[in-house]
């Protein structure tokens, strides 16, 4: 997967964020102004789509 494709998928997290879910995260000690409020199953689905790729991770980090 190309970095641009991965970035598009990561950007989709903002669109799928659930503000109410983010507020509920505080019950579990997750307090962050930068949290999107995306349920873990959605994150896992995205991680599965992107897959493990160390080279891609390094390129995205840059």
Encoded tokens for 29: 């000690």
Instruction: Tell me the mean pLDDT in the region 38-43.
Output: 86
Rg for the chain (alpha carbons), in Å?
13
Task: Determine the pLDDT at residue 33.
Answer: 76
- Mention every residue, 6+ apart, whose C-beta is less than 8 A from residue 6: 50, 56, 60
pLDDT at residue 58 is higher than 80: yes
Measured between alpha carbons, how far is 56 from 10 in angstroms, rounded to an integer? 13
Instruction: Tell me the mean pLDDT in the region 13-27.
Output: 80
- Mention every residue, 6+ apart, whose C-beta is less than 8 A from residue 42: 13, 16
For the question of whether the overall pTM of this predicted structure is more than 0.85, the answer is no
pLDDT at residue 48 is higher than 80: yes
Mean pLDDT of the chain: 82
- Per domain, the residue ranges of the chain are 3-61
pLDDT at residue 34 is higher than 80: no
């Amino acid at each position: 997967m190309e970095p641009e494709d991965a970035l598009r998928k990561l950007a989709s997290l903002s669109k799928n964020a659930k503000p109410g879910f983010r507020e509920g995260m505080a019950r579990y000690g997750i307090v962050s102004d930068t949290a999107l409020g995306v349920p873990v199953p959605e994150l896992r689905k995205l991680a599965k789509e992107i897959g493990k790729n160390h080279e891609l991770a390094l390129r995205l980090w840059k």
